[in-house]
């Protein structure tokens, strides 16, 4: 093949053949298709789409660009993937909870980019904790603890790593077939037998509308099914931050509260809902709500953190500088926009602008009041933490118009909107 023929075919709206897809993904991974050619092809796909069978084949080719783990660990393996949100620390309580219920949870995770947080950035606020594990260490920890949250090993879906970096700088990220194949190639290569997807909808999510989120969920599920994975998706609300903590160390603290049987109701609800789906997918009948209340999930958490060099009882960082936003009038909080809070936490130093940037463990936003709750004039609504006080002005700009106080509470929609399978 010549790359230019594949580009022309997709440019003109043709369906690519299996052989064309296999060739172009493999040749790109090996450096035989140039970056500018793949950029043109990604744009043609962005504009003209791919059919379900093209998307499945594209995903298969990306899985085959690297290794596929075989997780023979003596228990059924199940993983969760969230499309990303604000205050979405659910992986932290969920992985140990599902392990405490009897499954093995290999949770290969990423870092934050833009306004959404990254699981590894959050866990790295625990002194000593290590994200980078070898495949042998992952397997050993799944056997001994039942849960592992770590960075994806470099051999998994290298085609996606290259292509994602290219899409990021060529305006070709927001395409359903490209997003779906990117996510699923990594999850299939990871080798779990079942997968539950948390597809976020709303201002703080990738997909702002229910229609687009449904389209993404269906594409993800369809790829999983075509690869023999037991897969289901929940569509969940991301118009308001999850829980009260948005940042890194603050989200670890909130997750530990949940693991100790407390914590915000929405975080508990989503953790238990996803745990139920994961356990059902591998045929385990334990009741996750009861296991969470029993403290067993906390025990697994402490072992999981220790196994990766962390000290689960070490004090966590909190930004040296604090700024409090107060209510100007009496009433009820009627809005708290996930995107505004996510951008504020990001500007305070919890997130990064470029992949290489460091993050501040102690930066973030505490949402002291959530929509539906009463407030009185002068009451603190938000606490901003950072080590770089110059960042506060930018965070306050992001929050302007991002919350509102009204005379009557506005009824909240459901957190779990629907299931796709």
Using CB under 6 A as the criterion, which residues of the chain lie in contact with ligand URA when the complex forms?
A: 164, 173, 178-179, 182-183
CB of 41 to ligand URA, least distance (A): 15
Pick the catalytic residue from 160, 198, 237, 266: 160
CB of 198 to ligand URA, least distance (A): 13
Cα–Cα dist 347/364, whole Å: 9
- At 77, phi and psi to the nearest 5? -105, 135
- At 408, phi and psi to the nearest 5? -130, 150
Cβ proximity to ligand URA, 323 vs 352, nearer residue: 352
Cβ proximity to ligand URA, 57 vs 323, nearer residue: 57
* 323 annotated active-site: no
Cα–Cα dist 180/217, whole Å: 8
Cβ proximity to ligand URA, 35 vs 387, nearer residue: 35
Total residue length of the chain: 421
CB of 182 to ligand URA, least distance (A): 3
Q: What is the DSSP pairing of strand 194-201 with strand 78-82? A: parallel
Cβ proximity to ligand URA, 182 vs 248, nearer residue: 182
CB proximity list for 329: less than 8 A, separation 6 or greater: 377, 405
Q: Which two tokens stand for residue 238?
A: 């991301």
CB of 5 to ligand URA, least distance (A): 25
Cβ proximity to ligand URA, 382 vs 420, nearer residue: 420
Cα–Cα dist 108/106, whole Å: 6
Q: Which residue is nearest to ligand URA (CB)?
A: 182
For the chain, the C-alpha Rg in angstroms (whole number) is 21
Pick the catalytic residue from 89, 122, 186, 200: 186
* 276 annotated active-site: no
Q: Which two tokens stand for residue 235?
A: 């569509």
* 255 annotated active-site: no
CB of 163 to ligand URA, least distance (A): 9
Cα–Cα dist 254/219, whole Å: 33
CB of 171 to ligand URA, least distance (A): 13
CB proximity list for 153: less than 8 A, separation 6 or greater: 67, 69, 108, 133, 134, 135, 138
Pick the catalytic residue from 10, 57, 81, 162: 81
Cα–Cα dist 147/186, whole Å: 18
Q: How far is CA 345 from CA 116, 204, 399, 421, in A?
A: 9, 12, 10, 34
Cβ proximity to ligand URA, 165 vs 265, nearer residue: 165
Pick the catalytic residue from 167, 200, 318, 323: 167
* 160 annotated active-site: yes
Pick the catalytic residue from 125, 182, 185, 222: 182
Helical ranges in 363-410 per DSSP H? 392-399
CB of 45 to ligand URA, least distance (A): 12
CB 79 within 8 A of CB 198: no
Cβ proximity to ligand URA, 78 vs 184, nearer residue: 184
* 352 annotated active-site: no
Q: Would you name the residues annotated as active-site residues?
A: 81, 160, 167, 182, 186
């Amino acid at each position: 093949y010549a790359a230019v023929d594949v580009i022309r075919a997709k440019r003109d709206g043709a369906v690519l053949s299996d052989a064309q897809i296999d060739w172009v993904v493999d040749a790109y991974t090996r450096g035989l298709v140039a970056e500018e050619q793949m950029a043109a092809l990604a744009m043609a796909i962005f504009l003209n789409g791919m059919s379900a069978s093209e998307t499945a084949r594209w995903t298969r080719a990306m899985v085959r660009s690297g290794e596929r783990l075989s997780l023979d660990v003596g228990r059924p393996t199940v993983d969760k993937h969230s499309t990303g949100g604000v205050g979405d620390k659910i992986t932290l309580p969920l992985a140990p909870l599902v392990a405490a219920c009897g499954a093995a949870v290999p949770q290969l995770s990423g870092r934050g980019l833009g306004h959404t947080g990254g699981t590894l950035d959050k866990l790295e606020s625990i002194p000593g904790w290590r994200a980078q594990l070898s495949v042998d260490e992952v397997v050993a920890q799944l056997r001994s603890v039942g849960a592992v949250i770590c960075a994806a090993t470099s051999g998994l879906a290298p085609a996606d790593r290259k292509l994602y970096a290219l899409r990021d700088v060529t305006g070709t990220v927001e395409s359903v077939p490209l997003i779906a194949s990117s996510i699923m190639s990594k999850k299939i290569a990871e080798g779990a037998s079942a997968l539950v997807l948390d597809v976020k909808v709303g201002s703080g999510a990738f997909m702002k509308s229910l229609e687009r989120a449904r389209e993404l969920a269906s594409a993800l599920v369809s790829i999983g099914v075509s690869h023999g994975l037991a897969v289901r998706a929940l569509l969940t609300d991301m118009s308001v931050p999850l829980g009260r903590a948005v940042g890194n160390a603050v989200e670890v603290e909130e997750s530990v509260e949940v693991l100790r049987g407390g914590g915000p109701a929405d975080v508990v609800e989503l953790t238990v809902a996803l745990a139920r789906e994961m356990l059902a997918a591998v045929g385990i009948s334990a009741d996750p709500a009861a296991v969470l209340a029993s403290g067993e999930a906390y025990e697994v958490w402490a072992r999981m953190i220790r196994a990766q060099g962390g000290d689960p009882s070490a004090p966590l960082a909190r930004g040296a500088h604090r700024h409090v936003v107060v209510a100007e009038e009496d009433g009820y909080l009627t809005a708290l926009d996930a995107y505004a809070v996510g951008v504020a936490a990001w500007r305070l130093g919890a997130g990064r602008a470029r992949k290489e940037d460091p993050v501040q463990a102690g930066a973030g936003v505490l949402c002291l009041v959530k929509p539906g709750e009463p407030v009185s004039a002068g009451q603190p609504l938000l606490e901003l933490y950072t080590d770089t006080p110059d960042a506060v002005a930018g965070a306050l700009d992001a929050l302007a118009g991002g919350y509102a106080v009204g005379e009557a509470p506005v009824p909240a929609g459901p957190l779990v909107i629907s299931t796709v399978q």
